[in-house]
Structure 1
Amino acid sequence: MKRYSAVIDIGSNTMRLVIYAHENESRIQEVENVKIVARLRKYLDEDLNLTGEGQFILIDTLNSFRKVIDTYDVDHSFCAATAAIRQAENREDIKEKVKAETGLEMIILSEEQEAYYGYLAVANSTAVEKGFTVDIGGGSTEITYFEDRRLIHSHSFPFGSLTLMEFFDEDKPSKKQVKKVREFIEEHFSQLDWIKEKNAPIVGIGGSARNMAEIDQTFKDYPLAGLHQYEMFDTDIAHISEHLTTLDKKEREKIEGLSKDRADSILPAMQVFHCLYSLTDASSFILSRKGLRDGLLYEQLAGPKENHLYENVLENSIADLVNEYELSSSQTTYARELTKKLFTPLVDQGASTYLTGKDWAITERACTVYNLGSYIDSESSSQHTFYLLANRTIDGLMHIDRLKLALLASFKSKSVYKQFLRPYNNWFLKSEKKKLKLLGAIIKLTYSMDSTKRRIISDLNVTVKEKSITIRCYCTDDFKPEAYQTEKQKKHLEKALKVPIHISFHYL
């Protein structure tokens, strides 16, 4: 049964309500996402009190959110405030006022909590084992460092995209101003020894990081859908930063991928990303669509246990796909076992220089979700399979690995494979393309060995010779349909290996 949870995030720049539907702690889906640009940071006076006007905007927005929440049967709701409210001297009065006028219990997150929830969201939605997280808000910037998915260090800096805008007193910043803000950022970052020269990825959280990734995809005419786990490099960040600083605000507002309300604050945020990349000697910059709000929810769903980490992010994602597209778990288990019985001797006996034992991991995943597009239409199953897997977020898989999975799980023939691969030709070396085609052909053949889904083949005996391959299938029941389909489909593997394949069926 689906249950619903609501999370309100009160930031210095924006306020956002997200409503999630979830069936278990890993199957979480956004069903509502409402954003209001409140810029509460602007309403802190000289004594750091949130002014009456700021309080009105806060209360009015929260009451608007309450009306949306009331349309759902919500089990849990969280209302969390970050830097702007945390830094307000009258924060306790604000908290009481929020409770009295909206009925919401507002939690004011500490710097440590804000950093932790961002880290937790990344650890439970990506395959990054070691790296940094950076979350630039309007009034603070949180950085964490983790190894083996465990949080090691965290720090919150008292500056964000809105406060750093004070360095830019012109619509189009000068090189001198950019240099000055970079010196300020580097001075603060350099105080932390643990962020220097780690050569690990940086995972960016929040609106500024998301906008940067969207701009990069626009510049590159990126062919895949989705932002989560999108990867960039220092040259990409430098290119975007240099381009944006040559434009005035009105020109920046027209940049595709950049939210109009971030046309000014994106400039200092870009400097934060670039400085952090340089100082850490990062291997890449990865965008996470999951952040503080998701971290709050993960903790809630995990319950009172001390460790809020999922055991295996990718396995959870694959299990969700099996569930969502109503694949038979017993059938996919059998397909994996049968494929392993063909794959292993092909590797061990040197059937192809392209194959290694390491290729089993992606082959096994593809076996599990092979032809899931038949859930939509059996006649065009291959096309649906490729599109669904290539263009949806799969937590734990980077974009290129998601594409590889889609190519294998949708394999139908050499011509269809080439058709799917065409927009991504320059993503792979020639040897990688041949390997993927070969792995797809292996999966295609083993699925034809179970064409009636009776699981009658209990074992395979594979012999690889220089000019041929022999496969003996040992069966527990009548095998005529399987023999027919296997003979029909073996041509794909023969073409990939460039040798004839002789397949025979035998009763046990």
Structure 2
Amino acid sequence: MSNKSAIIDIGSNTIRLVIYEHYKKGRYKEIENVKAVARLRTFLDGDMKLAAEGIDKLMNILKGFMEVLDFHEIPNVRCVATATIRQAENKEEVLTIIKKETGMDIEILSEEQEAYYGFLAVISTTPADTALTIDIGGGSTEITYFENRKLIHSHSYPFGVVSLKQRFIQGDSITEEERSTLTDFLLSEFSRLPWLKNRRVPIIGVGGSARNIAQIDQQQKDYELSGVHQYVLSGTAISSILEQLFPLSYKEIEKVEGLSKDRADIILPAAEVFNQLFSYTDACYFMISRKGLRDGLVIEMANEESGVEMSRDSVIRRSLEELCHEFDINDLHSKQMKFLASTLTGSLSDLGYLDLTHEDFKMLQYSAALYYLGEYIDSDSSSQHTFYILANRPVNGFFHKERVMLACISSFKNKTALKQYMLPFLGWFTKEEMQKAREMGALLKLAYSLNATKRNIVQSIDIERNADRLDISVYCKGDFLAEQYQTEKQKRHLEKAIKTDLDINFSRID
């Protein structure tokens, strides 16, 4: 039985085939993502019928996708269509032709379904508990509002970046008059939703236009991290990008760093939508989600039996499980690291050597589960690989600053290496936060030494204050020679971090 499935998303601007590998109940990994720019919205004629040229273009793309599906031997394919096919007066004819030529059954998503799947993806992959979402496609725009990860309101507007361009922009750039008309139209449309005005919550942007705005912002800031998922922009940043693009022609916009060339002629209406919505709702910030409609669909499929837990902690936990699977981290070792970290932290906190908040402790536990995952690539340089992987790979549920902190603690080697890793991000952290990263990293390095052979032999730890030092008694089930050697070798990092000598004694209890 195949462990792969696929989603084909027939949008108004782009059509995508995404293939997923399911490696555990409710868990999946994207392994292929094939994109074709179709601009189907431009093939709707005056009678709102999809012209023969548009049908042929759709057919050719789907036939190409079929070859990819045949290669991967995927029996489970869900093919969905959104605004353009939904709005087409001849949609039944289109579906019949596609079925005859390709054998594919196309499911037309309702406006409510399209909004819901985007919402589901956002709450399953971002840290947002209460927010607005906006997914602006080629022919429709979905907006939702959720509180405590529960959907409260949703609406689908029958316009998107392609249709806005067709309606409001006539030349190869936008004029002042056209922009004013577009702005008036957007504000009028927003006013139809009484739950939007001055909502004062974050906005989560979904889709290619939001990603491109983030990429432009990152290029202009020489941003140190890769990826736009969970990247945060201010309203000022969005309006600044819009003002930079506004005077340019499409040819000039094509050259803007960070922007996909195929979006040069539609990025302006998209940016204006984001800009006006940010102002109208008095938003806190604008966050990007790389996960949208397709991810919502596969999340529903992957969890149709077990259901999806929606808390932020569960989002992070699932993401960490994916990392552990991807980098072959032994589950029992990961649990032992969390046990050792928790035991050491509890005792040192009680004795006044650590002052960690509840959120700090959770970060320590996350880092313990992933400590030195870079060993998967090379054991001799596991610290460097660990930091690079975690700093540059999206981790669902974490803001980018939190992701850097996770990378620093999980990769801790020594104070010098920590400073080197944090150097590009010095403006992100206070001195107190950097000291906590050092303390937690040094503690995990000691915990890692206590499980040097990955046999989970340490059963319990007692710590007592003795004058100007700490006496640590470690009780093991089995031979502890390797653990004792590594602990004595590495304990100096924690000693320096908490400014106290450690006297560590091992005992066998079996």
Same fold, TM-score > 0.5, yes or no: yes
Output the amino acid matched with 1:200. V
Q: Deviations over 1:149-187 (max 9, x none)?
A: 221111001111112222223433234432331221111
- Partner of residue 208, structure 2: 207
Give, as a single letter, the amino acid of the residue that structure 2 aligns with 1:358.
E
Partner in structure 2 of residue 405 of structure 1? 406
Alpha-carbon deviation of 1:134?
0.7
Deviates more, 1:466-475 or 1:8-17: 466-475
Note the C-alpha offset of 1:465. 7.4
Runs of 4+ in 1 over 4 A off after TM superposition: 307-311, 464-467
Measure, in 1, the Cα distance between the counterparts of 2:318 and 2:93: 43
Q: Secondary structure at the match of 1:124?
A: helix
| Secondary structure of 2:195 counterpart | helix
Aligned to 1:486: 487
Aligned residue for 1:339? 341
After TM superposition, list the pairs within 5 Å mapping 1:434-445 onto structure 2: 434-445=435-446
CA-to-aligned-CA distance 1:340-389 (integer Å, 9 cap, x gap): 11101222332145x33431101011111111111221111111111111
CA RMSD between the two structures: 2.0
CA distance in 2, matches of 1:256, 1:25: 41
Give yes or no for contact 2:205–2:287 (8 Å, CA) kept in 1.
yes
CA distance in 2, matches of 1:29, 1:424: 30
Deviation at 1:77, TM superposition (A): 0.9
Indicate if the aligned counterparts of 2:17 and 2:35 stay in contact, CA closer than 8 A. yes
Q: Which amino acid aligns with 1:53?
A: E
2:197, 2:466 → 1: CA distance? 53
Deviations 1:379-437 (A, max 9, x none): 11111111111111222222222211111111111111112112222221111111111
Contact 1:123-1:309 within 8 A present in 2 as well: no
Counterpart residue type for residue 3 of structure 2: R
Aligned to 1:393: 394
The match for 1:48 is 48
State the Cα distance separating 1:257 from its structure 2 match: 1.7
- CA pair 75-179 structure 1, distance change in 2 beyond 3 A: same
Tell me the equivalent position of 2:323: 321
Distance 1:39 1:452 in 2: 57
Count of matched residue pairs? 506
Moved more, 258-267 or 274-283: 274-283
**Distance in 1 (alpha carbons) for counterparts of 2:305 and 2:337:** 38
Q: Distance in 1 between matches of 2:28 and 2:439?
A: 35
Letter paired with 1:345: S
**Cα displacement string for residues 97-120 of structure 1 (whole angstroms, at most 9, x for unaligned residues):** 111112111111111111111111
Where do 1:38-187 residues align within 5 Å?
38-165=38-165, 166-187=167-188
> Aligned pair in 2 of structure 1 residues 44, 357: CA closer, same or farther (>3 Å)?
closer
Post-superposition CA distance 1:420-469 (Å, at most 9, x none): 11222222111111111111001111221222334333222223578443
Q: Give the Cα–Cα distance (whole angstroms) in 1 for the partners of residues 350 and 200 of structure 2.
A: 35
Report the equivalent of 2:37: 37
CA-CA distance at 1:89 after TM superposition: 0.9
Q: Aligned pair in 2 of structure 1 residues 280, 295: CA closer, same or farther (>3 Å)?
A: same
Cα distance between partner residues in 2 of 1:485 and 1:293: 47
Q: Is the 8 A contact 2:28 2:302 kept in 1?
A: no
Matched, 1:462 2:474: no
Change (3 A) 1:185 1:362: same
Deviation of 1:500 (Å): 2.5
* Cα offset, 1:482, TM superposition: 2.9
Residues 26 and 316 in structure 1, CA contact (< 8 A), matched pair in contact too:
no
Q: Confirm or deny: 8 A CA contact 1:468 1:500 kept in the other structure.
A: yes
Report the Cα distance in structure 2 between the residues aligned to 1:191 and 1:486, rounded to whole angstroms. 65
Asked whether the 8 Å contact 2:203–2:287 carries over to 1, the reply is yes
Preserved CA contact (<8 Å) 2:395 2:403? yes
Do the aligned residues in 2 keep the contact of 1:347 with 1:356 (CA within 8 Å)? no
Paired residue for 2:293? 292
